[in-house]
Amino acid sequence: MTLPDILLIQETKFEEKDFLDPSIHPWNKEKILALNTRGTSGGIKTLWDDTKIDMLLSRSTKHWILTQFLHKYSGKMVSLFNVYVSMALEDNKDCWTSL
């Protein structure tokens, strides 16, 4: 199985500590940033292959993870937002304000 260099996942339904357990997923050699679930869904994860990608920056709130990566071979940088917001109006307002 070939894994992507960067993977963004929403609605994992995992708590952060559980998702970081390598027995649950095939990303056991790569780096992971994770936010806990909220309610019956939620939970977001950003995963990357650290043999190909360097993370330069990360920031997060309860709704999103921002990462800035450097591709080791091409020298190109990319910034990615991984976002999850419930349908609740208050959560939507909070998320957009924080972005």
pTM: 0.71
Which positions ≥6 away from 62 have C-beta within 8 Å? 35, 38, 94
What tens-digit pLDDT sequence spans the chain (99 residues)? 677 888 888 876 655 555 556 666 555 556 777 776 565 566 788 888 888 999 999 998 888 889 999 999 999 999 999 888 777 777 777 777 877
Give the number of other Cβ atoms within 10 Å of residue 74's Cβ.
8
Domain ranges of the chain: 6-98
* Distance of alpha carbon 14 from alpha carbon 12, whole angstroms: 5
Cα–Cα–Cα angle for 12, 13, 14, rounded to 5 degrees: 85
Tell me what pLDDT residue 90 has.
Answer: 78
Contact between 92 and 85 under an 8 Å Cβ cutoff? The reply is yes
Superfamily, domain 6-98: Endonuclease/exonuclease/phosphatase (3.60.10.10)
Predicted pLDDT of residue 30: 60
